[in-house]
């Protein structure tokens, strides 16, 4: 029997969850619901969860993205985005749904901000849809779009939420894709103009801006392997897109700061702590290349005006379209560092392999690199281990990862202020009629308890983490996985848009009120 099967049997025998050798009681709920199924080898136990404390003033928040929640895809002059085009193309989305209506937050935002307040939230990370502001990606702003975001920002402030704006969460105006998309260097300038428009109209109220959500994924998943919109698959386009995004990040930071004196600019990078698969020097070096390429490529560029060592042999800077003077454009030190945590990677060396075939995308943040390794430059293979249990969205549960990642970034970047921009888990729990329609999502509570205990430990050990944004406030449209995944603290019935706060949402509200996890 392997380790997972053994632990599974032990769990069944105990009739509840064993975490770190102890039975984990669910916070609240009946005896039956306290049979939490999360089980993590080596996880910290119930006493650590009970002892964990967060500092006064810690900013508890949630995150969403425009395309995933807004709907209203053709309203008030909005242009078409690459995600509208992608989701309207047969075969691209699981379950054959689209985000034309999504959670209808375009109309229901007041209700959603009130719900955030109800669960004691202090920060709301949202994104702005570029084609609402500039329907074709350039030129004068569409004031109906600007007014919409002005109203939603006011609503946040009214409900005591800090408006945290992500300028770009994947919905590029289709007209700019028609001009070549992110591999076209001109997009850096267009994007900086768009960022400047936002700073001009909203910068009196928004003080915290993240230029891009997961820029590495925008380039790799969108242009390298085609798993996300616009669905192109060409490794050279990936390299070019990555460089345009880095230039855009630097130009946008300057454009925002030139327009709004209150602005602070950081990031919303997707990161996974990378562990060498074996203790060999080669695998250690491969894990460093993974970290350089997937986690800190744009961070290093912003902080130091250079790219980190992500490549074996000569870096393909010519293929990326790098020009003399680009280092200065890239160099734009961030005021704080924001990143997401979902799961971890095992990384092994593929430097001796001759043939490379590019990775796939089997769900959020997963790149299942082929056995041969990802590409001829980085020459590593990254896998998601399955030592811990999997969520229903298929990601390994590994709470310790957030501690390791936060400590690593703190060490490498001189103990910066850190914002956890996203973190969460996909489970499909739905309202249970025998419990008056409650949503007893005990696995999500267990997931957050364990992860947050690890985050509290990182803070205790000196990391300057000032916020945590759970993904997500509400269930929403999960990109290529459509409506087949649910990450919300609040359940959404897509038939009538009814919202129901899940048990995890009620629990998270208590966490936000008390800075403790039980
Ligand atoms: C992140 C994305 C976010 C959502 C979560 C589950 O990678 O930034 O939009 O899809 O995963």
18: β partners: 23
Residue 364 has pLDDT above 80, yes or no: no
pLDDT of 515 strictly over 60:
yes
pLDDT digits (tens, 9 = 90+) for 190-224: 999 999 999 999 999 999 999 999 999 999 999 99
Residues 37 and 57: beta-carbon distance below 8 Å: no
Residue 194 CA to residue 255 CA, distance in Å, equals: 9
Query: Is pLDDT above 80 for 400?
Result: yes
pLDDT band for position 39 (cuts 50, 70, 90): low
Average pLDDT of the segment spanning 349-360: 73
Please give the backbone phi and psi of residue 479, each rounded to the nearest 5 degrees, phi first. Answer: 50, -130
Q: Is the pLDDT of residue 11 over 90?
A: no
**CA dist., res. 360 & res. 357, Å (int):** 10
Q: What is the mean pLDDT of residues 3-20?
A: 31
pLDDT tens digits, 123-168: 999 999 999 999 999 999 999 999 999 999 999 999 999 999 999 9
Average pLDDT for residues 55-59, to the nearest whole number?
Answer: 98
Distance 19 CA to ligand 1 centre (A): 27
Average pLDDT value for residue range 400-424: 98
Q: CB neighbours (10 Å) of residue 390?
A: 15
What are the φ/ψ torsions at residue 126 (nearest 5 degrees)? -130, 165
pLDDT at position 23 is: 30
Q: What is the mean pLDDT of residues 314-328?
A: 97
pTM of the model: 0.92
Q: Are 381 and 347 in contact (CB under 8 A)?
A: yes
For residue 343, pLDDT over 60 is answered with: yes
10 Å CB burial of residue 123 (0-12, 13-18, 19+) is buried
Token digits of residue 454: 């690890």
Pocket test for ligand 1, best of 338, 340, 395 (most atoms within 8 A of CB): 340
464-502 b/e with 16+ CB inside 10 Å = b?
A: ebbbbbbbbbbbbbbbbbbbbbbbbbbbbeeeebebbbb
Give CATH for domain 3-514.
Answer: 3.20.20.80
The best mutation among 214, 471, 484, 487 to test binding of ligand 1, ranked by most ligand atoms within 8 Å of the C-beta, falls on 471
Residue 349 Cα to ligand 1 midpoint, Å, equals 28
Rank 39-43, 253-257, 312-316, 371-375 by mean pLDDT and report only the highest: 253-257
How much is the average pLDDT of 338-349? 96
Bridging pattern class, strands 498-501 and 490-493: antiparallel
- The pLDDT tens digits for 454-503 are 999 999 999 999 999 999 999 999 999 999 999 999 999 999 999 999 99
pLDDT for residue 108: 98
Q: How far apart are CA 464 and CA 37, in angstroms?
A: 32
The per-residue pLDDT of the chain, averaged, comes to 91
What SS3 class is residue 85? helix
Closest approach atom of ligand 1 to CA 213: 8
Mean pLDDT (whole number) for 36-60: 82
Cβ of residue 487 lying under 6 Å from some atom of ligand 1? yes
Is the pLDDT at 315 greater than 80? The verdict is yes
Which of 271, 66, 244, 300 has its CA nearest to residue 166?
66
Q: Average of pLDDT values for 23-33? A: 34
Name, in order, each residue with C-beta under 8 angstroms of 432's C-beta and a sequence gap of 6 or more.
Answer: 438, 439, 440
Helix (H, G, I), strand (E, B) or coil at 5: helix
Q: What is the CB neighbour count within 10 angstroms for residue 426?
A: 25
Beta-bridged to residue 24, according to DSSP, are: 17
pLDDT of residue 359: 55
Contact assessment for residue 145 and residue 74, using Cβ atoms and an 8 Å cutoff: no
Find out whether 213 and 166 touch, Cβ atoms under 8 Å: yes
Query: CB neighbours of 39 closer than 8 A, spacing ≥ 6?
Result: 7, 8, 11, 17, 18, 19, 388, 389
Statement: residue 47 has pLDDT above 90:
yes
The best mutation among 129, 211, 214 to test binding of ligand 1, ranked by most ligand atoms within 8 Å of the C-beta, falls on 214
> Where is 344: in which H helix or E strand?
none
Task: Please report how the helices 503-514 and 442-460 are oriented relative to each other, as an axis angle in degrees rounded to 10.
Answer: 20
- What is the per-residue pLDDT for 37? 37
Ligand 1 pocket residue status of 227, Cβ below 6 Å:
no
Mean per-residue pLDDT for 244-252? 98
The pLDDT of 242-259, averaged and rounded, is: 98
CB of 218 closer than 6 angstroms to any ligand 1 atom: no
* Domain boundary assignment for the chain: 3-514
Tokens of 52: 């964990």
Q: Is residue 477 a contact partner of residue 483, using CB atoms and an 8 Å limit?
A: yes
Instruction: Average the pLDDT over each of 7-21, 51-65, 338-352, 361-375 and give the range with the smallest value.
Output: 7-21
């Amino acid at each position: 029997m392997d380790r997972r099967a053994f632990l599974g049997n032990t769990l069944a025998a105990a009739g509840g969850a064993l975490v770190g050798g102890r039975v984990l009681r669910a916070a609240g709920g009946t005896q039956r619901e306290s049979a939490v199924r999360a089980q993590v080898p080596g996880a910290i136990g119930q006493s650590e969860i009970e002892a964990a404390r967060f500092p006064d003033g810690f900013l508890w928040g949630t995150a969403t993205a425009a395309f995933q929640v807004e709907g209203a895809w053709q309203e008030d002059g909005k242009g078409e985005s690459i995600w509208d085009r992608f989701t309207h193309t047969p075969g691209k989305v699981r379950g054959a749904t689209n985000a034309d209506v999504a959670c209808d937050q375009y109309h229901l935002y007041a209700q959603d901000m009130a719900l955030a307040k109800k669960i004691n939230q202090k920060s709301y990370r949202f994104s702005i849809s570029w084609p609402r502001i500039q329907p074709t990606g350039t030129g004068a702003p569409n004031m109906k779009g600007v007014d919409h975001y002005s109203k939603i920002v006011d609503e946040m402030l009214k409900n005591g939420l800090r408006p945290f704006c992500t300028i770009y969460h994947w919905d590029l105006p289709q007209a700019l894709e028609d001009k070549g998309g992110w591999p076209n260097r001109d997009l850096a300038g267009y994007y900086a103009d768009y960022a400047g428009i936002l700073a001009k109209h909203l910068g009196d109220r928004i003080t915290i801006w993240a230029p891009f959500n997961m820029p590495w994924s925008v380039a790799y998943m969108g242009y390298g392997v085609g798993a996300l919109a616009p669905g192109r698959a060409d490794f050279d386009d990936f390299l070019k897109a990555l460089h345009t995004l880095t230039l855009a990040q630097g130009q946008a930071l300057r454009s925002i700061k030139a327009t709004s004196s209150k602005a602070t600019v950081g990031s919303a990078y997707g990161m996974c702590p990378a562990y060498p698969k074996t203790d060999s020097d080669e695998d250690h070096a491969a894990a460093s290349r993974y970290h350089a390429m997937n986690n800190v490529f744009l961070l290093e560029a912003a902080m130091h005006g250079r790219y980190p060592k992500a490549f074996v042999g000569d870096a393909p800077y010519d293929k990326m379209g790098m020009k003399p003077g680009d280092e200065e454009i890239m160099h734009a030190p961030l005021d704080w560092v924001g990143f997401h945590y979902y799961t971890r990677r095992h990384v092994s060396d593929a430097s001796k392999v001759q043939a490379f075939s590019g990775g796939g995308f089997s769900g959020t943040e997963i790149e299942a690199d082929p056995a041969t390794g990802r590409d001829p430059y980085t020459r590593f293979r990254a896998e998601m281990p399955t030592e811990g249990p999997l969520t229903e969205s298929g990601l390994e549960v590994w709470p310790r990862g957030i501690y390791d990642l936060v400590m690593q970034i703190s060490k490498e970047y001189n103990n910066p202020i850190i914002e956890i921009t996203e973190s969460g888990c996909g489970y499909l729990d739905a309202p249970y009629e025998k419990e008056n329609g409650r949503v007893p999502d005990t696995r999500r509570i267990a997931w957050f308890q364990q992860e947050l205990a690890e985050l509290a430990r990182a803070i205790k050990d000196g990391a300057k983490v000032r916020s945590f944004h759970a993904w997500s406030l509400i269930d929403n449209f999960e990109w290529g996985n459509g409506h087949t995944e649910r990450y919300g603290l609040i359940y959404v019935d897509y038939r009538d848009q009814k919202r129901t706060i899940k048990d995890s949402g009620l629990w998270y509200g208590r966490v936000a009120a008390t800075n403790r996890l039980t």
